[in-house]
């Protein structure tokens, strides 16, 4: 089963198995990963699912959409590779995906 790793701001990793078809936000919240809240249920309307994609993975995941940018760029921790986890749906070829979490969600 493919795995995604969430790395908390303090460096604590959380390795989570996933099945294709779930959003990254759902993968995290279903596994109680600290720091991913998903308050709006995946509507790109709350910004509480902010993740930062590493440079080596951004070509696979793709960059954030304009809609994501409107929400995520309000965060003081927004980085070039910031995404909303609810707008990312990993496929099996994203096995090993690693995502950093900001210190605070909005």
Per-residue interface string for the shown chain with ligand FES, residues 48-87, x marking contact by CB under 6 A: xx---------------------x------------x-x-
> Which residue do the tokens 């690693």 mark?
98
Rounded CA Rg of the chain: 12
Q: Does 40 bind ligand FES (CB under 6 A)?
A: yes
Concatenating the DSSP letter of every residue in 7-34 gives E-TTS-EEEEE--TTS-HHHHHHHTT-T
**Smaller CB distance to ligand FES: residue 14 or 50?**
50
**Smaller CB distance to ligand FES: residue 82 or 94?**
82
- Binds ligand FES (CB under 6 A): choice among 3, 31, 42, 69: 42
| Alpha helix segments (H runs only) across 20-100 | 24-30, 55-61, 66-72
Structure tokens, 19: 């099945």
Interface residues with ligand FES (CB under 6 A)? Answer: 25, 38-40, 42-49, 71, 84, 86
């Amino acid at each position: 089963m493919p795995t995604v790793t969430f790395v908390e701001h303090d460096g604590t990793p959380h390795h989570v198995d996933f099945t294709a078809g779930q959003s990254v936000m759902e993968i995290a919240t279903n596994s109680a990963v600290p720091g991913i809240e998903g308050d709006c249920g995946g509507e790109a309307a709350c910004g509480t699912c902010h993740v930062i994609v590493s440079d080596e993975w951004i070509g696979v995941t793709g960059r954030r959409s304009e809609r994501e940018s409107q929400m995520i760029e309000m965060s003081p921790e927004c980085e070039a590779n910031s995404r909303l986890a609810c707008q990312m749906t990993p496929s099996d070829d994203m096995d090993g995906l690693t995502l950093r979490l900001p210190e605070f969600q909005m």
